[in-house]
Every structure is written in C-alpha cells, then in structure tokens.
A = this chain, B = another copy of it.
Amino acid sequence: MRDASETRRKIQHEALRLFVDRGVGGTTTRDLAQAAGIAEGTLYRHYESKDALVWDLFSTHYATFAHRLTARASKCETFAAKLAAIVAEFCRFFDAEPVLFRFLMLAQHQALPRITNDSDNPVEVVQTIIATAIGRGEIPAQPTGLAATMVLGLLLQPAIGLVYGRVEPPFSQYAETIATACLKALGSDHHA
C-alpha cells in the first residue's frame, strides 16, 4: 500500500532465503507470500510469474557479480594479481551474502540454459582473463574452457563444502590458498 519498493525488497529477500532452503521447486507462491507478509495475489503486482521472480533474482545478481569481478580484476596488472582479486571477491561475497551466493549456485542449474556467454557471466569473466594471460605468456597455452572451469571448481566446490559443514568458515581465510592453487593448477610459476 505504502511503499511498493519496500514490499518488493521483502519479497526478494524472503524468496532468496526460501529458494536456498527448500529449492525453487520446493517453494510455493503461498510460502513466498506468507514469508513476505503479503497476499498471494500481491506477488503478481510485482512479478509476472514465479519464474520471472527467479529469473530477475538470478540475472540481476549474477550480472552484478560478474561486473564486480571484472572491475576488481581490471584494477590489477598481472594475471596472478587478477586471479587473487577474483578469488578474494568470491570469498568475500560468500562470507557477506551466503544466501545470495548459494542461490546463484543452485539457480545456475535451472538458469544456465538461458545464460548467455557474454561478459555478464562470471565464468566468461574468468575465461577471458585466462585467455589474456595465455596471450601474454603469463601461463602456458591450454584450452581456456578447461582452465576456466578448473579455477571455478577450486572456488565453488570448497564453497559447497562450507555449506555442508565439510569446510570451516569463514571462506575468506582460504583466499590465498585457493588463489595459489589456481595459479599452480594453471601451470604458472609466479606463485605467491
């Protein structure tokens, strides 16, 4: 009634929480409305459909995160520094907004088919940086797709480990270790 953007924020916040807790398919519009303290019909004043809500949540933050990664990396000169910046940003993000981070991870499986291979995409960002590094001779020539997925694996799987209690928080304490591991995995000899 009063502040429409406040309602919207509430929906987004609770939706993230519920999607992470129960999965997207496991969260009903009823759950969403209840958690956000609004009527079910009101959801449709803010989003055309449940899918639209999921996609909005995903695409907005996914792109934002990708942009932030690009921005951080672009401030660094060397590949090692760029990578360290990216890893640090990942860890910081996870520690600061674990719910959002987890949502982006899980939504990928549903949203990936719709993800375009452009620069609004963290995977693409990493891959581009690697390609540049290879071009500059900072790391050995190698398939960039494989290299990029290896780097992401070194970041995402430990993150999943944190979620399931296999790895101790906070994530940031491992930033250096992981950055170094990435460099080594890619065959760089300029380790930290």
Residues of chain A at the chain B interface (Cβ within 8 Å): 23, 25, 106, 109-110, 112, 123, 127, 142-143, 145-146, 148-150, 152-158, 160-161, 164, 166-168, 174, 177-178, 181-182, 184-187
Contacts and interface: CB of A to CB of B under 8 A. Distances in A.
A82 B131 CA distance: 32
User: How many chain copies?
Assistant: 4
A166 B145 contact: yes
A167 B145 contact: yes
Contacts of A106: 109
A137 to B, nearest CB: 19
Nearest to A108: B160
A168 B145 contact: yes
A73 B112 CA distance: 34
B158 A153 contact: yes
A192 B145 CA distance: 22
Nearest to A183: B184
Given A25-B25, A150-B158, A153-B157, 10 more contacts: A106-B109, A112-B164, A142-B177, A145-B161, A149-B161, A150-B178, A152-B153, A153-B154, A154-B154, A154-B185
B158 A156 contact: no
A182 B152 CA distance: 14
Contacts of A123: 166
10 contacts: A23-B25, A25-B25, A109-B109, A145-B161, A145-B166, A146-B167, A146-B174, A148-B166, A149-B167, A154-B185
A145 B161 CA distance: 7
